[in-house]
Amino acid sequence: MAKTINVALIGQGFMGRSHSNAWSQVNRFFKPELKPVLHTVFGQEFEKPEIFADTWGWKNSSTNWEDTINNPEIGLVDIVTPNFMHAPPAKAAIAAGKPVACEKPISATLDEAREMAEAAEKAGVDSFVWFCYRRAPAVALAYKIVREGKIGDIRHIRASYLQQWADDSVPFAWRFKKAFAGSGAHGDLNAHIVDMTRFVSGLDITEICGAITETFVKERVVPSGNMTDEELRYSKDAKTGTLKAEVEVDDTTLFLCRFNNGAIGSYEAARQATGNFNRNGFEINGTKGSLKFNFEDMNYLEFFDATLPREYQGWTKILCTDPSHPYAGNYWPAGHLIGYEHGFTSMAYDILLKLSGKEPTVPLPSFMDAYNTQRILEAALRSAEQKSWIELKDVK
Ligand code: SOE
């Protein structure tokens, strides 16, 4: 009889759907020895968690996250609530001695991220953060290529994460409020490319050498009944009487940095980069070669081998769908492409491997790992605010 682990999902929404899909699909594609059971999903009353449970195959639904986490039947807590609601359930899971997975960024504030990381370490509880792009086979292959020394010493890392969804017509939501989100495009998108490039390169950022943030849309229409008065700084449009709330976070953040091996880096996150739906990626240049990844073409990794004779040098587009590529063989035969959702299913498998005492396919980010990413995000915000360079050793 296969061993099972009851999962509790804290939250719903886009990430609730991608995680529900992952927990139900992982048994089919990876046949893990530790099989997840979709036990209970928490949602607030108005979110109708019973409907979400029925749609996505959760056995139970709950409107009380503390009871859900403390249910002795629950073996793993998975948090997908908005950023400001990550820490309370995470700390409750850790206090109950239960492994806990959490969406990125780990928290809306650096202090809470540190508390979560230290609590998990102190309690000896396994913690995981859903930086899902590490498990695109192309990114996992890039990780392998760097460790095989095939691109030599890294000199440059340039990464961007460009979306266009937050145009002027988009109404106010939690992502635009600092107390709820922490930051805007920066925490939402730079978090991913900072994690991805730290993971692939094995390098760490030691200094932020300048940063700029901008909020293009200064206020947004508040949908009726969306948030309470004390949560928002309203301003009523004199002509139309429409309620608008001030946007308190960035629409874009760019920063320059130095790595612990002396390499130089540049990062850009934007939510109004018209023409880019969800284009994240990087280019890493080394002394023996380079790597390029673009999520909008996510099945390919581009590799430049500078050790070849000059006449043969050129970018090779590797289609990462072969069984020799990480995770790919568990899905479809070579050439049958995979998508966004497969990164979550592959991560669910690696979490189950870890909880079974086995090594994941590629390293899993823990709360401590995600706290160090959050330190970099915080250092960039301080650099932009103070118009100065910030050393990471001064950001704890
Ligand atoms: C919105 O920007 C978002 O849903 C991010 O929050 C996710 O982490 C990313 O994978 C897709 O875009």
Rounded-to-integer distance, Cα 382 and Cα 92, Å: 30
Which tens digits make up the pLDDT trace of 339-367? 999 999 999 999 999 999 999 999 999 99
Q: What is the pLDDT of residue 134?
A: 98
Rg (C-alpha) for the chain, rounded Å, is 21
Q: What is the pLDDT of residue 233?
A: 57
Ligand 1 mean position, distance from CA 188 (Å): 7
Q: What is the pLDDT of residue 2?
A: 77
Tell me, letter by letter, the H, E, C secondary structure of the chain.
Answer: CCEEEEEEEECCHHHHHHHHHHHHHHHHHHCCCEEEEEEEEECCHHHCHHHHHHHHCCCEEECCHHHHHHCCCCCEEEECCCHHHCHHHHHHHHHCCCCEEECCCCCCCHHHHHHHHHHHHHHCCCEEECCHHHHCHHHHHHHHHHHCCCCCCEEEEEEEEECCCCCCCCCCCHHHCHHHHCCCHHHHHHHHHHHHHHHHHCCCEEEEEEEEEECCCCEEECCCCCCCHHHCCEEECCCCCCEEEECCCCCEEEEEEEECCCCEEEEEEECCCCCCCCEEEEEEEECCEEEEEEHHHCCEEEEEECCCCHHHCCEEEEECCCCCCCCHHHCCCCCCCCCHHHHHHHHHHHHHHHHCCCCCCCCCCCHHHHHHHHHHHHHHHHHHHHCCCEEHHHCC
Ligand 1 mean position, distance from CA 54 (Å): 24
Q: What is the mean pLDDT of the chain?
A: 95
Whether 188 is in the pocket of ligand 1, judged by its Cβ within 6 Å, is yes
Q: What is the pLDDT of residue 229?
A: 53
Ligand 1 mean position, distance from CA 103 (Å): 10
Which atom of ligand 1 lies at the shortest distance from residue 191's CA? Answer: 8
Q: What is the pLDDT of residue 217?
A: 97
Which tens digits make up the pLDDT trace of 9-27? 999 999 999 999 999 999 9
Residues forming beta bridges with residue 305, ordered by sequence position: 289
Ligand 1 mean position, distance from CA 189 (Å): 7
Within the chain, which residues score under 70 in pLDDT?
A: 224-238, 241
Whether 278 is in the pocket of ligand 1, judged by its Cβ within 6 Å, is yes
User: The tokens 């629409």 sit on which residue?
Assistant: 251
Task: Give CA angle at 146 (191, 383), nearest 5°.
Answer: 30
- Closest-CA residue, ligand 1 atom 12, reads 278
Q: What is the pLDDT of residue 225?
A: 59
Q: What is the pLDDT of residue 21?
A: 98
C-beta separation of 166 from 328 below 8 A: no
pTM greater than the 0.85 cutoff: yes
Q: What is the pLDDT of residue 243?
A: 82
Nearest to 232 by CA among 247, 215, 249: 247
Ligand 1 mean position, distance from CA 48 (Å): 23
